Amino acid sequence: MNARMRRLPHAVSGDHALVLIGIGKVGSALMGLLDALRPTRLRLVGVANSRGQWTNFREFSGLDLGTLPSKLCGPRDDAALLAALDASGALHRVLVDASASEAVARRHAHWLGRGYHVVTANKCLLGGTLLDWRNVESAREEGCRYGDSATVGAGLPVLSSLRRLRACGDRLLGIEGVFSGTLSWLFNHFDGNRPFSALLREARSLGFTEPDPRIDLSGEDVVRKLLILARTSGNPLDRRDVQVDDLVPEELRNLPTDDFLASAGVMDEAIAARHARAHSRGCVLRHLARIDNDGCARVGLVDVPAAHPAARLQGSDNLFVLHTQRYGDRPLVIQGAGAGPELTAQALLADVMAVA
Ligand SMILES: NC(=O)c1ccc[n+]([C@@H]2O[C@H](COP(=O)([O-])OP(=O)(O)OC[C@H]3O[C@@H](n4cnc5c(N)ncnc54)[C@H](OP(=O)(O)O)[C@@H]3O)[C@@H](O)[C@H]2O)c1
């Protein structure tokens, strides 16, 4: 066993001690899952949001999500969270990142290097610069686990499949799919009868978009997922290698969110025209991410024919079509609900459990 992972000389109770960073939609769902399951070998010893943390839970005894924020003590201090993990005496000390913070993501490699396992829904590091990716890869080789299932497809078995294929000598030749639940929902529902901006407002009111839907429409979140998939399959792509079709018109990019929502109708004519063109060719419009056989990586709207697997998507399904040497003519297709706090929390919990 790695010396840094030795059991610490304190009272031992439970194999896993857990710190949860981020108690928004996903973090709250994870706490709800823990509350429902009450896993005996796992203790939550700290939680944090951007303003503070609360540590030293003796056991997981059903946190009241309503009152939790008032219990957090500021200022935010990672040292308090790590001290709670160390004091737990647990065999496995795990930090779960359920934030979207770049600053938090930048600490992952450091934590791995200090002997903590990291489980993350936060894509900022793996989908960030190549240097960040490589830092995590080398820290991970030191023996600690880096659970990343929740970063793509909300835990659909796509990263695990890529790793398995690669370990068995198969080679990814190309990948395409719909990697955003939000953009999947929008284009699965858009039929040209209602303005796109009205559909966008509906999606937002249903909680299917980010509070600022430009984060979804820009395609940047999809780019991060594409980079993670490419890198996991052995292709060290950089952000500048990916062409992105930003759906937000230039004049709306820097407005405050409310002003953007009020002006979103500016997008309607262009998207309706793209829809009509696709329809006239017997196609539908889908937001696809692709890496072709020639290595060209693109993210944006594409006319897809009715026979394409993306044409048959429903709801906020994600789709991953993997073309490999062995899955040559008939690609490996992974499809299913690819968003939502509960599914994402489940993927985090599964990665935590896999630490053992
Ligand atoms: N929602 C989904 O369906 C889904 C699916 C797959 C992956 N994800 C990923 O999961 C992550 C969380 O998503 P979410 O929907 O739960 O977001 P969210 O509701 O906005 O919650 C984010 C949480 O992170 C906290 N946070 C921000 N900066 C922090 C810091 N420096 N230290 C500690 N906590 C910090 C926030 O605290 P404050 O409230 O104080 O700002 C908040 O509690 C994101 O990376 C997202 O991309 C989400």
**CB neighbours (10 Å) of residue 71?**
12
Residues 79 and 220 in one domain: no
Residues 101 and 10 in one domain: yes
Closest residue by Cα to residue 148 from 177, 178, 127, 174 = 127
Q: What is the CATH number of the domain that holds 235?
A: 3.30.360.10
Helical (H) or strand (E) element with 47 = strand 42-48
Residues 146 and 199 in one domain: no
Best residue among 25, 78, 151, 206 to mutate for probing ligand 1's pocket (most ligand atoms within 8 Å of CB) is 25
Catalytic, 225? Answer yes
> Given this model, what pLDDT does residue 57 score?
60
Ligand 1, atom nearest to 27 Cα? 16
> Given this model, what pLDDT does residue 1 score?
38
> Given this model, what pLDDT does residue 4 score?
42
User: Is the distance from the beta carbon of residue 114 to the nearest atom of ligand 1 less than 6 Å?
Assistant: no
**CB neighbours (10 Å) of residue 22?**
23
Measured N-to-C along each axis, helices 158-167 and 220-232 cross at an angle, to the nearest 10 degrees, of 20
Residues 213 and 314 in one domain: yes
Residues 146 and 165 in one domain: no
> Are the beta carbons of 184 and 349 closer than 8 angstroms?
no
Best residue among 19, 33, 50 to mutate for probing ligand 1's pocket (most ligand atoms within 8 Å of CB) is 50
User: Is the distance from the beta carbon of residue 104 to the nearest atom of ligand 1 less than 6 Å?
Assistant: yes
> Given this model, what pLDDT does residue 316 score?
92
Q: Which residue's CA is minimally distant from atom 6 of ligand 1?
A: 154
CA of 236 to the centre of ligand 1 (A): 27
Residues 333 and 298 in one domain: yes
Q: Tell me the Ramachandran region of residue 169: left when phi exceeds 0, alpha when psi lies from -120 to 50, beta otherwise.
A: left
E strand map for the chain? 16-21, 42-48, 53-55, 92-97, 117-120, 146-147, 172-178, 242-244, 283-291, 297-305, 317-324, 332-337
User: Is the distance from the beta carbon of residue 53 to the nearest atom of ligand 1 less than 6 Å?
Assistant: no
CA of 92 to the centre of ligand 1 (A): 24
Mode of pairing for the β-strands spanning 172-178 and 283-291: antiparallel
Residues 28 and 141 in one domain: yes
CA of 168 to the centre of ligand 1 (A): 35
pLDDT in tens, the chain (356 residues): 343 433 333 333 458 899 999 999 999 999 999 988 888 888 899 999 999 999 976 655 556 777 787 889 989 999 999 999 999 889 999 999 999 999 999 999 999 999 999 999 999 999 999 999 999 999 888 889 999 999 999 999 999 999 999 999 999 999 999 999 999 999 999 999 999 999 999 999 988 888 899 999 999 999 999 999 999 999 999 999 999 999 999 999 999 999 999 999 999 999 999 999 999 999 999 999 999 988 899 999 999 999 999 999 999 999 999 999 999 889 999 999 988 899 999 999 999 999 87
Residues 143 and 195 in one domain: no
d(CA 210, CA 24): 12
User: Is the distance from the beta carbon of residue 207 to the nearest atom of ligand 1 less than 6 Å?
Assistant: no
Residues 308 and 181 in one domain: yes
d(CA 113, CA 117): 9
**CB neighbours (10 Å) of residue 346?**
18
Best residue among 26, 54, 70, 346 to mutate for probing ligand 1's pocket (most ligand atoms within 8 Å of CB) is 26
SS3 135: helix
CA of 177 to the centre of ligand 1 (A): 25
Tell me how far CA of residue 155 lies from CA of 86, 150, 161, 214, in angstroms: 29, 5, 11, 24
Residues 240 and 348 in one domain: no
> Are the beta carbons of 208 and 269 closer than 8 angstroms?
no
SS3 205: helix
| DSSP code per residue over 177-191 | EE--HHHHHHHHH--
Residues 144 and 182 in one domain: no
> Given this model, what pLDDT does residue 104 score?
97
> Are the beta carbons of 182 and 209 closer than 8 angstroms?
yes
CA of 25 to the centre of ligand 1 (A): 7
Note down the domain range covering 324.
159-337
**CB neighbours (10 Å) of residue 169?**
8
Domain count, the chain: 2
Task: Check the CA dihedral 190-193-197-201 and report its sign.
Answer: negative
Q: What is the CATH number of the domain that holds 78?
A: 3.40.50.720
d(CA 285, CA 204): 20
d(CA 320, CA 330): 13
> Are the beta carbons of 55 and 80 closer than 8 angstroms?
yes
SS3 1: coil
Residues 111 and 220 in one domain: no
Q: Which two tokens stand for residue 117?
A: 């396992």
| DSSP code per residue over 214-233 | HHHHT-HHHHHHHHHHHHHT
Ligand 1, atom nearest to 122 Cα? 45
**CB neighbours (10 Å) of residue 329?**
5
Ligand 1, atom nearest to 123 Cα? 45
> Given this model, what pLDDT does residue 13 score?
45
